[in-house]
């Protein structure tokens, strides 16, 4: 599992960032009212692994949950992760289903 302190919420660039072996993995987002739209997941090929991807998304979801925001996964990879991990279903805004 990735260390929580290694996650950076770069609100200027509107992305969550994670340094992995001198590479930058990121999840881009758009914040509207109490909803955060996760729009794009980028993990460099050199460091990509399914476990890294899952750990990174889990860490971002925990950070969002701590901020008491709803998640709208517009990125296909993040929507797929949410479908597989139904425990995050309660983080969807009312009326949104995946």
Count of helix runs (H) and strand runs (E) in the chain: 2, 5
Domains of the chain: 4-91 (3.40.630.30)
pLDDT one digit per residue (tens) for the chain, 98 residues: 677 778 999 999 999 999 999 999 999 999 999 999 999 999 999 999 999 999 999 999 999 999 999 999 999 999 999 999 999 999 999 888 88
Phi-psi region of 21 (alpha: psi -120 to 50; beta: other; left: phi over 0): left
């Amino acid at each position: 599992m990735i260390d929580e302190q290694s996650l950076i919420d770069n609100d200027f660039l509107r992305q969550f960032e994670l340094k992995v072996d001198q590479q930058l993995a990121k999840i881009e987002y758009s914040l509207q009212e109490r909803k955060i739209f996760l729009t794009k997941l980028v993990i460099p090929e050199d460091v990509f692994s399914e476990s890294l991807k899952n750990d990174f998304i889990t860490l971002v979801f925990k950070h969002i949950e701590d901020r008491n925001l709803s998640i709208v996964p517009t990125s296909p990879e993040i929507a797929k992760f949410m479908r597989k991990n139904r425990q995050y279903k309660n983080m969807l805004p009312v009326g949104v289903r995946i």
